[in-house]
């Protein structure tokens, strides 16, 4: 069994809860689709846990922004990005500081893994989309507002592609269609003859009105969506204690948006 996590956003309380949940299951490998950093109060601690537990972690737009420069970020996200960079730069242990920056600089933008458990060609993994792996959003509304975009994205998918980035979990089909985890009753049955783009949701900042941390499990022939409750109030207090982080980055977690 493989666990795929994404969009931790420096929320250590949520990441710990998810790693504990994964630890209780028969998971052989954990893969992270990026955005370990940004928005949240504990970026360094989250990076250290990801380095320890995830043999593969991809580059998210917030990781990239911390490494280079934020672009097209709102004011709160930009301020959080600069605070995150300062937090990493101010680490007093030089070996720890260098290890974290090297990890960030070495993050790949895409990855493929064996898909035999799902009777699939190799599984494609990116943060955003198969066309622009770091930055492109695939929104559920795109199936109505921009169906050609969805079809164009599917042209680049061999069978299954896993994404994060929007923080909204669910499955896109080529029709185009979108199914939330609730509509799927939390399990997506893989059909070898039908392509799918699977959004794994977000560990640290879900935006589907469910405050619980989210991730997916790859089981034989199925993809299971999992939600894990965590101490949201603890994260909110940590955000409030850091002047550079907008309080809204904490309070939004309560509503899952």
Cβ contacts of 234 within 8 Å, gap of 6 or more:
13
Half-sphere exposure of 87 (CA within 13 A, CB side): 23
Q: Please report how close the Cβ of residue 36 comes to Fe ion at its closest, in angstroms.
A: 10
Cβ nearer to Fe ion, comparing 7 with 210: 7
Q: Please report how close the Cβ of residue 124 comes to Fe ion at its closest, in angstroms.
A: 19
3-state helix, strand, coil in the chain (%, to 5): 35, 20, 45
Site string for Fe ion, 73-102 (x = CB under 5 A): ------------------------------
Does 208 bind Fe ion (CB under 5 A)? Our answer is: no
Cβ nearer to Fe ion, comparing 7 with 118: 7
Q: Please report how close the Cβ of residue 246 comes to Fe ion at its closest, in angstroms.
A: 16
Q: How many CB atoms lie within 10 A of CB 160?
A: 24
Cβ nearer to Fe ion, comparing 39 with 154: 39
CA angle, 252 as apex, 248 and 253 as ends, to 5°?
Answer: 125
Cβ nearer to Fe ion, comparing 115 with 206: 206
Cβ contacts of 24 within 8 Å, gap of 6 or more:
none
Cβ nearer to Fe ion, comparing 13 with 35: 35
Positions 21 through 60 that interact with Fe ion (CB under 5 A): 35
Q: Please report how close the Cβ of residue 167 comes to Fe ion at its closest, in angstroms.
A: 6
Which one of 5, 7, 176, 223 is in contact with Fe ion (CB under 5 A)?
A: 7
Choices 5-13, 45-53, 114-122, 244-252 (CB under 5 A): range interacting with Fe ion? 5-13
Cβ nearer to Fe ion, comparing 1 with 103: 103
Pairing between β-strand 187-189 and β-strand 222-228 as defined by DSSP bridges: antiparallel
Please state at what angle helix 248-255 crosses helix 232-240, rounded to 10 degrees: 170
Locus of tokens 């420096």: 10
* Contact status, residue 138 vs residue 166, Cβ threshold 8 Å: yes
Q: Please report how close the Cβ of residue 28 comes to Fe ion at its closest, in angstroms.
A: 26
Best CA proximity match to 88, nearest among 110, 109, 62: 62
Choices 1-9, 68-76, 92-100, 152-160 (CB under 5 A): range interacting with Fe ion? 1-9
Positions 214 through 243 that interact with Fe ion (CB under 5 A): none
- CA-to-CA distance for 36 and 5, rounded, in angstroms? 10
Q: Please report how close the Cβ of residue 165 comes to Fe ion at its closest, in angstroms.
A: 6
* Contact status, residue 34 vs residue 200, Cβ threshold 8 Å: no
Q: How many CB atoms lie within 10 A of CB 13?
A: 22
Number of residues that bind Fe ion (CB under 5 A): 2
* Contact status, residue 200 vs residue 211, Cβ threshold 8 Å: no
Residue number closest to Fe ion, CB atom? 35
Which residues make up the interface to Fe ion (CB under 5 A)? 7, 35
């Amino acid at each position: 069994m493989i666990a795929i996590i994404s969009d931790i956003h420096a929320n250590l309380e949520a990441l710990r809860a998810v790693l504990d949940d994964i630890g209780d299951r028969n998971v052989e490998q954990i893969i992270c689709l990026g955005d370990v950093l940004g928005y949240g109060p504990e970026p360094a601690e989250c990076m250290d846990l990801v380095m320890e537990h995830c043999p593969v972690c991809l580059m998210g737009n917030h990781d990239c922004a911390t490494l280079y420069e934020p672009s097209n970020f709102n004011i709160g996200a930009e301020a959080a990005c600069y605070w995150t960079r300062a937090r990493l730069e101010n680490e007093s242990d030089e070996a720890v500081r260098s290890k974290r920056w090297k990890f960030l600089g070495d993050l790949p933008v895409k990855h493929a893994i064996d898909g035999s458990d799902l009777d699939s060609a190799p599984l494609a993994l990116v943060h955003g989309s198969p066309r622009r792996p770091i930055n492109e959003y695939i929104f559920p509304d795109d199936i109505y507002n921009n169906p050609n975009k969805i079809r164009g994205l599917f042209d680049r998918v061999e069978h299954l592609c896993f994404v994060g980035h929007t923080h909204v979990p669910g499955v896109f089909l080529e029709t185009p269609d979108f199914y939330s985890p609730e509509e799927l009753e939390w399990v997506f049955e893989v059909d070898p003859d039908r392509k799918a783009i699977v959004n794994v949701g977000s560990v640290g900042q879900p935006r589907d009105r469910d405050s619980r941390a989210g991730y997916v499990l790859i089981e034989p022939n199925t993809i299971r969506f999992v939600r894990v409750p965590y101490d949201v109030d603890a994260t909110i207090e940590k955000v409030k204690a850091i002047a550079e982080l907008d309080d809204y980055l904490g309070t939004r977690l309560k509503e899952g948006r």
